[in-house]
Chains A and B, each alone.
Chain A
Amino acid sequence: MQETSIQFSGEAGEGIATAGDLLMQTCAHMGFEATCFKSFPSNIKGGYSSSLVKMAEAEIISPLSHFDILFALNAHSFSINRDRIRPADVVVVESAIMADTGIKEQAEALVSEQGVCLYQVPFSALARETLGMVASKNMIVLGAAAFLLNIPLDCLGSRIEKRFLEKAGQYRHALEVGANYLKDRKIAPSPLMPHDGADKETKAKRILLEGNKAVSLGALAAGCNFMSLYPITPATTIGQYLTEPILSNNGSTYQAEDEIAALGAVIGASFAGAKSMTITSGPGLSLMQEMLGYASMVELPIVIIDVQRGGPSTGMPTKHDQADLFAAAFGGHGESQRIILAATNVRDNIFLTIQAFNLSEKYQCPVILLSDTSLALIKQTIEWPDLEDVRIINRTVFVEDDLAAHKEYKRYAVSASGLNPISIPGFSPKTYIATSVEHDEDSSPRHTPEIRSRQMAKRFRKLDTLQKDHADLMEFDLEGIGKGGKADAAVIAWGLTAAITKEAVARLRKKGHKIAALYPRLLYPLCVEAIKALTSYSDRLFIPESNYLGQYAKLIKMHLSVDPIQFNISRGEPFYPEEIADELEAILNKSPRGDA
């Protein structure tokens, strides 16, 4: 697990994100695996912003972790990260912040008491004096970072040339200013990243992909030909990435007047035969609830991507939370059928989006894929995804040839599987009404106790085979535990928390703890069998979740008589692997083996 992490923190709008992006791209081009995790305020400009870049020889599981090198470009950035600084970390601060005696004392204490390497660089002054502009400060920062990481400036330079063209010369100079400032003060580069400086070409074909872009790729691969949405942070960019490709595929896109209309258009489009999708975040999902019930009632395939953000209400539009599980699974009145999936990393965002379409077409019901603010913005190097041979499921359409076998077309026939072919206007030979009121097999509005009971059972029965047919959506990790063996603890984590938990679990295993883990991508309907299987390895079930209530743990408690140990945070930032490892380790140490 030889990884290096560097965090840039400062005022939003100062180019922090750009610095992180360029560093990550450079590392990727040098042959490393790299990730970049961004956190920024809900303003256009101003407020605290940070960018965490990780680089490693092998695959990076968790894009979040502790930093080895911290760049604090203003006093606030230093203060809020101070408690996270560990001995032997390298901390680079803007010299100007040391004018504050309080900060100066704290910084000196870090050096004297913890052995932290603290470097002061007058980034703002350098930008003003040597370049005559503050705007290129981030390039000076990047130059300093490259120097500390022992990355040749030429490697960064080629990235900058590609991105900035005209200003590249000036920015290249800024890189040198940053690097030389440290070099001139005889500061030694950190030995964290040994390499020869040349781009490595031995690796398999890879891409550098952002979470939201991954969703758009999945939608295209699945054959999505209608998308409608209402702009909402942090989901909008998926729509941006998708609009032109969908048009080029002869599909249509529609920016609706609100989320109700967006999902309405998607349902209408699905009725007319399109593979359709909407993209939203929490507030939009709330507005869509009645429409979601309609899609379930008339059994039309639709896909909703919910890029979760901090709620309730407007909440924290640019901040992390994974608290929409209940709204996705149970929101709205009555009882309706939905399938809820959750992505754990950038790659999942591609393939689970494809799965979302497949499952909606197969089971004729809404599928909601949960992503989140952090995952939306995380960029990650991944293996080139093969999107040409993916398995695509299309709905069964009622066609001319079916007329011979079926005298009558009954859209809602009480069939064994609960499923029936769908008639498409302008295409199929028989019409039907998609009515939101309870209906009989021929869609006539009737609600005698018998008809109601039969139709309810029919609609829910459709999902009976879901768990069995899609066991691959439940990822078990039983490393070091034989079949029928025992573990010290069982762990379940979903969404981005799963990726972070994987790293925590790896750390604990290194210390000799036996851990059985389950990373569900199908959250609801709850895969009871998989959870039973996991708890057979240990009674001690630990579930870290990025929401206040521990929604998945509560869902499990609804179905099974287990009492999970919950570790919930709802602070607008994701977990760090260290936190999960520490929490679980403390639990394990309390009673090393057996029951807690």
Chain B
Amino acid sequence: MQWHGPAFYRKKEPKDFRSDLEPTWCKGCTYFSVLSALTRTFAEKQFDPTHLCVVSGIGCSSRLPLWLNAFGMHTLHGRAIPIALGVRMVQPDLPVIVVGGDGDLFSIGIGHFVHAARKNINMTVLSLDNRLYAMTKNQSSPTSPMGHHGTLTPCGKLSHPLNTLGFAISCGATLVAQTVFNDVSHIAQLLSRALDHEGFSFLNILAPCGSYAKENIAAIYRDKTVDINKDIGHDCTSKEAALAFILSIYNHDASNNVKIPIGLFFEDKSRPTFGKQVERMKAQYVGREAFSIKSILDNCEI
């Protein structure tokens, strides 16, 4: 489908990507910086709002598309990925971004994450990881640390958190990165890279909840992190190196007096996207008379 909308002569500013709606997030929510990073990146790339689609599930973070000026789908809890995939398959040139929380993406929706990553569907998945369910007023999520006190875990969470970065790489995501809420430039930088990436890109944004885990905000802060690309010189082209590195730091929060690693963990540019393969397959079929209605009827003729 060819877009033939109005020409945009004026250079677009970040505010051109904001809707008129006032965000309903709590005052001081760490998600505001993600919203800023998104609009900043969209402006940087001079995206066209009518040629951009942001799909989310349900939860605090999933409200994000409502605050944007772009086509958006605010869908069901855990189901953003398959819906975004449908958009992507019909319009392969449209940038498609999925926004979800850790509960949305890694509890109820984890089954979809696995397959979209495995198939290398060309989309950017942003996990706004606040490590708990905030909208339902503080329950443990798959990324909450062990011992987390939620309303349904009176003696603390009894299980280990999911290693989302390692999980994403294992599933087959071809770009995996992590960043932290209070460095808008770093978020924008990785977001830009993820949007440029052809394939399934996963960006985990550590964004603690100020309402139910205030103490995390101090603990998960830019100054408690280490940039693995700048400061450590991590090799992001090797899957093995990335996995080994992630496993070695799994569950190491600032509480362990170990810095939280942020940056690009892994990128594989060689694997073809699902969409590319579909296009290749289609090329074998398009216009083939053998599959026309008439041919099908002819084959059924008595």
CB within 8 Å of B: which residues of A? 28-29, 205-209, 213, 216-217, 220-221, 225-226, 228, 241, 244-245, 247-250, 252, 254, 256-258, 260-262, 264-274, 276, 290-291, 294, 298, 381, 384-385, 387, 400, 403, 423-437, 444-445
Q: Identify 19 residue pairs between A and B in the complex whose beta-carbon atoms are under 8 Å apart, listed by A's number.
A: A206-B302, A207-B302, A208-B302, A248-B286, A252-B278, A254-B89, A256-B115, A261-B81, A261-B111, A271-B71, A273-B90, A298-B73, A424-B1, A426-B91, A433-B66, A433-B72, A436-B74, A436-B76, A445-B66
Looking at the complex, which one of B94, B111, B297 makes contact with A258 (CB distance below 8 Å)?
B111
Q: Is B152 an interface residue (CB 8 A)?
A: no
Q: Tell me the complex Cα distance, A584–B84, Å.
A: 53
Indicate if the CB atoms of B79 and A276 lie closer than 8 Å: no
Choose the segment among B2-10, B192-200, B238-246, B255-263 that binds chain A (4+ C-beta atoms closer than 8 Å): B2-10
Indicate if the CB atoms of B282 and A250 lie closer than 8 Å: yes
Q: Is B45 an interface residue (CB 8 A)?
A: no
Which residues of the other chain, A, contact B65 by a CB distance below 8 angstroms?
433
Indicate if the CB atoms of A436 and B75 lie closer than 8 Å: yes
Which residues of the other chain, A, contact B296 by a CB distance below 8 angstroms?
213, 216-217, 220, 241, 245
Which residues of the other chain, B, contact A290 by a CB distance below 8 angstroms?
76, 79
Indicate if the CB atoms of B286 and A268 lie closer than 8 Å: no
Scoring B residues 249 to 290 as 1 if CB is less than 8 Å from chain A, else 0, what string do you get? 000000000000000000000000000001001101111101
B108 to chain A, nearest CB (A): 10
Indicate if the CB atoms of B292 and A264 lie closer than 8 Å: no
- Knowing A272-B90, A426-B93, A431-B72, the reply to whether A247 touches B297 (Cβ < 8 A) is no
Looking at the complex, which one of A247, A384, A434 makes contact with B301 (CB distance below 8 Å)?
A384
Indicate if the CB atoms of B302 and A28 lie closer than 8 Å: yes
Which residues of the other chain, A, contact B58 by a CB distance below 8 angstroms?
436
Q: Tell me the complex Cα distance, A464–B278, Å.
A: 41
Q: Tell me the complex Cα distance, A258–B113, Å.
A: 12
- Knowing A247-B282, A445-B66, the reply to whether A271 touches B86 (Cβ < 8 A) is yes
Indicate if the CB atoms of B76 and A291 lie closer than 8 Å: yes
Which residues of the other chain, A, contact B155 by a CB distance below 8 angstroms?
none
Which residues of the other chain, B, contact A254 by a CB distance below 8 angstroms?
85-86, 89
Which residues of the other chain, B, contact A267 by a CB distance below 8 angstroms?
75, 83, 86
Q: Tell me the complex Cα distance, A271–B83, Å.
A: 9
B93 to chain A, nearest CB (A): 7
Looking at the complex, which one of B90, B93, B282, B297 makes contact with A385 (CB distance below 8 Å)?
B297
Q: Which of A208, A209, A265, A434 has the most CB of B within 10 A?
A: A265
Indicate if the CB atoms of B115 and A248 lie closer than 8 Å: no
- Knowing A213-B300, A268-B86, A269-B89, the reply to whether A433 touches B1 (Cβ < 8 A) is no
Indicate if the CB atoms of B50 and A428 lie closer than 8 Å: yes
Interface residues of B in 219-236 (CB under 8 A from A): none
Indicate if the CB atoms of B83 and A273 lie closer than 8 Å: no
Q: Tell me the complex Cα distance, A338–B70, Å.
A: 28
Indicate if the CB atoms of B72 and A426 lie closer than 8 Å: no
Indicate if the CB atoms of A206 and B86 lie closer than 8 Å: no
Q: Tell me the complex Cα distance, A207–B73, Å.
A: 44
Q: Which of A220, A257, A276, A433 has the most CB of B within 10 A?
A: A433
Scoring B residues 82 to 116 as 1 if CB is less than 8 Å from chain A, else 0, what string do you get? 11111111110110000000000000000110110
Q: Tell me the complex Cα distance, A326–B297, Å.
A: 35
Indicate if the CB atoms of A264 and B51 lie closer than 8 Å: no
Q: Tell me the complex Cα distance, A207–B221, Å.
A: 70
Which residues of the other chain, B, contact A436 by a CB distance below 8 angstroms?
58, 74-76
Indicate if the CB atoms of B94 and A425 lie closer than 8 Å: yes
Looking at the complex, which one of B278, B291, B292, B300 makes contact with A207 (CB distance below 8 Å)?
B300
Indicate if the CB atoms of B301 and A205 lie closer than 8 Å: yes
Closest-by-CB residue of B relative to A400 is B5
Q: Tell me the complex Cα distance, A262–B75, Å.
A: 14
Closest-by-CB residue of A relative to B77 is A290
Indicate if the CB atoms of A207 and B301 lie closer than 8 Å: yes
